[in-house]
Amino acid sequence: MATYSINDFRTGLKVMLDGDPCNIVENELVKPGKGQAFNRVKLRNLATGRVWDRTFRGSESLEAADVIDRDMEYLYSDGEFWHFMDPESFDQFAADAKAVADAAKWLREQDKCVVTLFNNAPLVVTPPNHVELEVTETDPGLKGDTAQGGTKPATLSTGAVVKVPLFMNVGDVVRVDTRTGEYLGRASKD
């Protein structure tokens, strides 16, 4: 496996640190005029999500992590694993609950998402930034109440619960930002 010297560090590079794959979030040269150069690096541990603040010397190097992001189609869940397919190679991958984590509540069969593979096994599943899902459960809509301000919880077809405006009804399709869980608007039905 390739190694990267600290001077090659840039945002987005994937490296191994203490046995875990990490994504470099930030790299800043710290050097007093007369002193030794250090790099203050923020890395996100891709296995745990934890962000590390580590300091390196310019002479150090880290092994590259065999991590790649691939666009995949979500197939189905068997209760234990979530199954994905690369639409080009038709390779299938099974991700466990740890890899899917919060993405589970946004996954609709046949939707596209990004699966991060570490040593060819799913490490992280990232849903699309925006999804359109049907409301399956919510209090009845208040007719004519399109005024701003009021919201109520609604359960979507994937199980996610989001706050929607009062006028939304069961069967309506909503557009949601998966990064924040926020309602973005009403979408037209398929």
Partner 1 sequence: MSDSWQPSCSPALLKARAALNHHIREFFSAREVLEVEVPILASTFVTDPFVEPVTAHHTGHTYYLQSSPEYAMKRLLAEYRQCIYALTKVFRAGESGSRHNPEFTMLEWYRVGLDDHQLMTEVGDLVAQLIPELAIHKLSYRQWFYRRWQIDPHEISLAELRVLGKSLIEIDDTGLDKDAWLDLLVTHELEPALPVGLTFVHDFPASQAALARIVNDANGTPVARRFEGYLATAPGNAMELANGYWELTCPNEQRRRFARDIARRSALGLPQYPVDEQLLAALAHGLPDCAGVALGVDRLLMRQQGLSRIGEGLSFEFSRA
Pick one of 20, 60, 86, 177: the residue that binds partner 1 (CB under 8 A): 60
Distance of CA 75 to the CA centre of its chain: 18
Q: How far is CA 79 from CA 95, 97, 137, in A?
A: 11, 9, 22
- CB-nearer residue toward partner 1: 3 or 110: 3
Min dist. Cβ of residue 124 to partner 1 (A): 23
Q: H-helix or E-strand containing 100? A: helix 97-100
Q: Which of 50, 54, 98, 112 binds partner 1 (CB under 8 A)?
A: 54
**DSSP classification of residue 64:** B
The burial of 101, by beta-carbon neighbours within 10 Å (0-12 exposed, 13-18 middle, 19 or more buried), is given as middle
Look up residue 78 and give its DSSP letter: -
Q: Of the candidates 3, 5, 11, 40, which one interacts with partner 1 according to CB under 8 A?
A: 40
Q: Which is nearer to partner 1, 5 or 110 (CB)?
A: 5
If one asks whether residue 58 binds partner 1 (CB under 8 A), the answer comes out as yes
Question: How far apart are alpha carbons 124 and 96 in whole angstroms?
Answer: 9
**Two tokens, residue 114:** 């990004």
CB of 96 to partner 1, least distance (A): 29
Cβ closest to partner 1, residue 54 vs residue 179: 54
Least distance in angstroms from the C-beta of 59 to partner 1: 9
Q: Does residue number 157 form part of the binding site for partner 1 (CB under 8 A)?
A: no
- Of 39, 30, 51, the C-alpha closest to 17 is 51
Q: Summarize as ranges the residues that interact with partner 1 (CB under 8 A).
A: 7, 28-38, 40, 52-56, 58, 60
